[in-house]
Amino acid sequence: MEKIEQNLIPTRTLADGTRIPCLGLGTFGSDKYNAAQISAAVEGAIRAGYRLIDCASVYQNEAQIGEVLSKLFAEGAVKREELFVTSKVWNDRHGDGEVIASCRQSLADLQLDQIDLYFVHWPFPNYHAPGCDGDSRNPDSKPFSVEEFMGAWRQCEELVDMGLVRCIGMSNMTIKKLEEVLPLCRIKPAALELELHPSFQQPELFAYAVAHDMVPVGFCPIGSPSRPERDRTAEDVVDTELPSVAAAAKAHGVHPAVICLKWAVQKGAVPIPFSVKEPQYIANLKCVTEDPLTDEEMAAIAADDKNCRLVKGQVFLWPGAKGWQELWDEEVPETL
C-alpha cells in the first residue's frame, strides 16, 4: 500500500494551538456501506497516512472503529497522540446529563480515554427513526431554542473540564444561531462542521467561522455522490460535473472528486471525504501534497457556486413547519 509522508500533509491550527491535518476521513456509510467496510477503510486509511477521522455516534460504527484503533495502537502502527479523532452527540441525547452519557458511550466504543474534538451534531433535539422517509415528522420536534442548545453546550464544556474531550465544536449552524449562542459560551467552539463543496460554498458562513477562530470542517466535500435517497432532489447539482471542476480535472489528469478536495484545502477548510475504496482514499489524501490548483482554477470554481444544499435536514422539521429552509433561518419559497 502507498504511504503518504506526514511531513507533506499541511496542517491547520485550532484556537488552543492544537494542530490537525488539513484533510480527514469521513465515516458515514450513507446507508450503503456497513460498519465492517467502514472500519476496514479506517484501518487502511490510517496505515496510508490519515491522522484525522470524523466519527459520530449516529453512524453506528464507533465500536468497530474502536476495535481497529486499538489494534493499530497495540501493533505500533500509529500512536494515540498522532491521531485526531472527532465524535458527535446525536439529536436525541441533548437532555440533562445525556450529552455526557453519550460521550462516555462513544469513548467506550472508540476505546479511547479522550475524544479530540466533540461536536453537537445538529442544533436541535429533533430525532427521526434511522432510514425514515424524508417527509415523516416527529411530533416532539421543535424549532431551534437558544436555551435548549446551551443546555447541550454546557455539557460539552463540562466534558472539556472533565478531560474527556480536548476541544468542542458545532455543526449545521447558521450565522444567526451562532450570533445568539457564541456570546453565551464559556468555552468557544474550536471548529464548525458545515456542508461545503463547489456547488455549495456558503461563503458568508465560511468567513464567519474563520473570523471567529473556528476551523471550518467541510462535510460532503465531493457532493456526497453516494448519499441516501432521502437526501436527493431533482434540482441537486453534481459537483464533479461542474464545468470548472471538470476542466481542472482534465488539466491535472485526476478525477474531479480530487479537484473538489484540492479546492477545499486551498480555501483553508478541512474536508472529510468518505471512501471505503483504497485507491480513492489514498488519492484523496495524496492530492493535498502535490500539484495545487492555480489561482485561475480556484477563481473559476468560486464562480461556479450554485447555492445547492444537499443535506437539507427535512426529517428534523417540527409539525407545522413550512419547509426545510426554516432549519437554516431562510425564507420558505411560496411555491413549496
Ligand X SMILES: NC(=O)c1ccc[n+]([C@@H]2O[C@H](COP(=O)([O-])OP(=O)(O)OC[C@H]3O[C@@H](n4cnc5c(N)ncnc54)[C@H](OP(=O)(O)O)[C@@H]3O)[C@@H](O)[C@H]2O)c1
Task: Tell me which residues are annotated as active site.
Answer: 59
* Choice between 19 and 277, CB closer to ligand X: 277
The identity of residue 31, as a single letter, is D
What is the nearest approach in angstroms of ligand X to the Cβ of residue 54? 4
CA separation, residue 151 to residues 86, 93, 172, 281, 316 (Å): 21, 11, 17, 37, 19
* Choice between 186 and 277, CB closer to ligand X: 277
Instruction: Name, in order, each residue with C-beta under 8 angstroms of 125's C-beta and a sequence gap of 6 or more.
Output: 91, 92, 94, 95, 142, 148, 152
* Choice between 227 and 262, CB closer to ligand X: 227
**Nearest-CA neighbor of 24 among 326, 333, 281, 313?**
281
Starting at the edge strand that comes first in sequence, how are the strands of the sheet with 115-120 ordered? 25-26, 52-54, 84-89, 115-120, 165-171, 191-195, 215-219, 270-271
Query: CA–CA separation, 202 vs 310, rounded Å?
Result: 12
* Choice between 277 and 334, CB closer to ligand X: 277
What is the nearest approach in angstroms of ligand X to the Cβ of residue 334? 28
The identity of residue 333, as a single letter, is P
Bridge-based pairing state of the strands 11-13 and 19-21? antiparallel
Binding residues for ligand X, rule: CB under 6 A, are 26-28, 30, 54, 121, 171-172, 193, 219-227, 255, 257-258, 272-275, 277, 280, 283-284, 311
What is the nearest approach in angstroms of ligand X to the Cβ of residue 335? 27
What is the nearest approach in angstroms of ligand X to the Cβ of residue 76? 27
* Choice between 225 and 243, CB closer to ligand X: 225
What is the nearest approach in angstroms of ligand X to the Cβ of residue 117? 12
Backbone angles phi, psi at 267, to 5 degrees: -75, -20
Instruction: Name, in order, each residue with C-beta under 8 angstroms of 229's C-beta and a sequence gap of 6 or more.
Output: none
